[in-house]
Amino acid sequence: MTWTATDIALMLGKIVLLYAIILTGAAYLVLAERRILGFIQDRIGPNRVGPLGLLQPLADVIKMLTKEDMIPTAADRLLFSLAPAMAAIPAILTFAIIPLGAPVQLFGRQVHLQIADLNVGVLFFMALSSIAVYGVALGGWASNSKYALLGSIRGLSQLISYELSMGLSLVPVVMLAKSLSLADIVNAQAEMPFIVYQPVAFAIFLVSILAECRRIPFDLPEAEGELVAGFHTEYSGMRFGLFFVGEYINIISLGSLASLFFLGGWRGPLLPPVLWFFIKVGLFSFLFIWVRGTLPRLRYDQLMHLGWKFLTPLALLNILVTGWWLALR
């Protein structure tokens, strides 16, 4: 396929638009989290900056950017400055394979609401979530501080353990859709979303993505009660901001992947497809915040126990049962 100038302009337009959507989305997710956590705790939350506090993300960004950027003297300067980007970039890159809606007709040509329809989309997502581990690991290592190191060690083992159950819980989805491409997976759910066939896989995936984006009850790498702030203890200013924004972009990207794999992505009655997609992602984001407002942090051995002794065998069993069912059908 040769690229014409229109193709390139279209692609650039899509990328810029997507960036705008996810960065605004992440910024307002922070506000939404603060407000909803406030309501859960019978408080109001930030409502002073602008109407209903809607300018709060802007104020936060200004605060982050104008804070002093500190690098500890004992830190590994190169890795220290590289790590926040390594945490945020994989989270943003995941959006390249996410279809936001049905293909639309625009100026007489078909436009896919997706940057790239990779035929190995699921593998690409798994690979990126593995690379995201490096941000945590190197951030903690390069800080040269014991809290950061402990946090990153925890983060490493947690992310690697839960990646396993996350990957295994996606195998039945791929078996049902007979494709690794995300557009095909959404198309395979035209009649029935996969959550109906795969409730167990959905539950495993949900728990795994909670662990994968290091949210309460799996926030052991950060664990502010024990490790100050875990792997990003030594970070300040916009470097911390990148870790922070990366976490929220991760929530959005993992929420959209959960809705793509199990809830039929942009498919839904009545409303336009893009709106359905945003509603589903919003529901997942709300779930993440809701869980954070409810559950306490797991102990380290409980975390490992849940991952290795429960979720992974259950996911394997689920693959076997799905294969059996597919063969006998």
Which stretch, 6-14, 226-234, 277-285, 287-295, contacts another protein (CB under 8 A)? 287-295
Tokens 């390249």 belong to which residue? Answer: 96
We find the least distance from the C-beta atom of residue 221 to another protein, in angstroms, to be: 22
CB of 282 or CB of 293, closer to another protein: 293
Q: Is the peptide bond before 217 cis (omega within 30 degrees of 0)?
A: yes
The reply on whether position 82 binds another protein by CB under 8 A is: no
The reply on whether position 40 binds another protein by CB under 8 A is: yes
We find the least distance from the C-beta atom of residue 20 to another protein, in angstroms, to be: 29
Which stretch, 34-42, 151-159, 164-172, 256-264, contacts another protein (CB under 8 A)? 34-42
The reply on whether position 36 binds another protein by CB under 8 A is: yes
We find the least distance from the C-beta atom of residue 42 to another protein, in angstroms, to be: 5
Which residues in 297-316 contact another protein (CB under 8 A)? 310
User: Contact with another protein (CB under 8 A): which of 2, 4, 5, 42?
Assistant: 42
Q: Site for another protein (CB under 8 A): how many residues?
A: 14
Which residues in 165-184 contact another protein (CB under 8 A)? none
The reply on whether position 295 binds another protein by CB under 8 A is: yes
We find the least distance from the C-beta atom of residue 152 to another protein, in angstroms, to be: 28
| Binding region for another protein (CB under 8 A) | 36, 38-44, 290-291, 293-295, 310
